[in-house]
Amino acid sequence: MFRKRKFLLTAVILLLTAFIFYSGFVVRSYSYQVTVPYPMLKTGEQFNTPKRVVRWYLPFATDDTAKRNVLDKNSKYITAGEYALEITEPSTISAVLRSAFRNTTKEFLFTAASDPADMSSCTVTMNWRSTLFSRWTDKGGLEEKAKLSLENLKTFMEDTRQFYGYEIERTTVADTSFLFLSVTVPTAEKRKATKDLFDRLIAYAQEKGAGYTSTRIFYSTPYGKDQLMLFASIGITNRVQTAPGEPFQYKKMPLGKNLLTATYQGPYGEVAKAYTALENFKTDHKLTSMAIPYQQFLSDGYDFAEDQVVQMKVYYPVF
């Protein structure tokens, strides 16, 4: 009986020793992954610079001070309270994120990989190595925060308002008939010339019985030195016969054609930010321009100062 008890005790000690050794010294590999609706290179950009990582990695993404420090100081490190993060070995499709809490540090390798069958999306895999004991005693929850951050990256990239600054939607052309008028003017005369264009369009529509719908769309682009080309249109319900070479032109948009759209609200002089967001979305999703982008005034009127707050829809025809 004594020998049997001794054998059992020895076996338990050996098993306990083996378990302690395994949990404390044997390093295992782990991985976690998500799929995002962007190509591999665009996705890789999101984890190879502090300015991008701070937008989605926790707890930094929810800390305004961390964001300001990265943007203002162009820092190599991201900090928030007792948490810190450093990006090492960055490449076009991967980076090692070294996350720390007090004296505890863990490294996570983020890699983007495309599916050959669908190059418009890719899988982001997070790989790391750890012992069981290290996982059980993970001070600051670094592994859990890394997994939640990867999920947050997916949410962040799928939310156009977070990713581009505007809620971008895909829609189709609904209004199809327009009266169109353009002019080239000195940049300093943009406001006066814009008002004049719309005044002339509305007066012409009334004269011709065109049925003005109150839809006002506009676009401007630099032309030469210190000049702008202004393009103004108003929606109408009735066809108007216009002669070639006449300043006023009747034009139709192809019904049902694809548009990207974003709602802009802010100073009139900063609407270019919405155009840039649509351009970036178009490029990131490998869409092709079908025509020039334009804006539709939602605020009443069309005579706006550059610092006046307005609301408008910005459109980009694509296919």
Per residue in 59-106, pLDDT (tens digit) is 999 999 998 888 777 677 899 999 999 999 999 999 999 999 998 999
Written in H, E and C, the secondary structure of the chain is CHHHHHHHHHHHHHHHHHHHHHHHHCCEEEEEEEEECCCHHHHHHHHCCHHHHCCCCCCHHHCHHHHHHHHHHCCCEEEECCEEEEEECCCCCEEEEEEEECCEEEEEEEEEEEECCEEEEEEEEEEEEECHHHHHCCHHHHHHHHHHHHHHHHHHHHCHHHHHCCCEEEEECCCCEEEEEEEEEEHHHHHHHHHHHHHHHHHHHHHHCCCEEEEEEEEEEECCCCEEEEEEEEEECCCCCCCCCCCCEEEECCCCCEEEEEEEEEEHHHCHHHHHHHHHHHHHCCCCECCCCEEEECCCCCCCCCCCEEEEEEEEEEC
136, 176: one domain: no
232, 310: one domain: yes
147, 267: one domain: no
118, 181: one domain: no
Read off the CATH number of the domain in which 146 is found: 3.30.530.20
Using a cut of 0.75, tell me whether the model's pTM lies above it.
Answer: yes
Query: In percent, how much of the chain has pLDDT > 90?
Result: 75
Residue 161 CA, distance from chain mean position: 7
Residues 129-157: what's their mean pLDDT?
Answer: 88
202, 239: one domain: yes
- Is residue 20 scored above 80 in pLDDT? no
Q: What is the CA radius of gyration of the chain?
A: 29
Q: Quick check: 46 and 153 in contact, CB under 8 A?
A: yes
Give the residue numbers spanning the domain of 202: 170-317
Query: What's residue 249's pLDDT?
Result: 95
Q: Quick check: 268 and 307 in contact, CB under 8 A?
A: yes
44, 121: one domain: yes
Query: What's residue 68's pLDDT?
Result: 87
- Is residue 185 scored above 70 in pLDDT? yes
d(CA 151, CA 34): 7
Amino acid found at 200: R
124, 75: one domain: yes
Residues 6+ apart with CB under 8 A from 94: 44, 47, 48, 109, 110, 111, 112
Read off the CATH number of the domain in which 237 is found: 3.20.80.10
Domain total of the chain: 2
**For residue 166, what are the CA distances in angstroms to 151, 262, 263?**
21, 6, 7
75, 123: one domain: yes
- Is residue 12 scored above 80 in pLDDT? no
Query: What's residue 191's pLDDT?
Result: 96
Query: What's residue 17's pLDDT?
Result: 54
- Is residue 198 scored above 80 in pLDDT? yes
Residue (of 94, 54, 105, 56) closest to 78 by Cα position: 54
Query: What's residue 22's pLDDT?
Result: 47
Q: Quick check: 260 and 292 in contact, CB under 8 A?
A: no
138, 276: one domain: no
Q: Quick check: 126 and 33 in contact, CB under 8 A?
A: yes
C-alpha torsion sign, points 297, 303, 307, 309: negative
Mean pLDDT of the chain: 90
Residue 9 lies in a domain: no
252, 179: one domain: yes
135, 227: one domain: no
Residue 308 lies in a domain: yes
How would you class 54 by CB atoms within 10 Å of its CB: exposed for 0-12, middle for 13-18, buried for 19 or more? buried
The two tokens of residue 92 are 């076009």
Single out the residue in 158, 193, 212 at which a domain terminates.
Answer: 158
- Is residue 50 scored above 50 in pLDDT? yes
Residue appearing with tokens 């290179």: 41
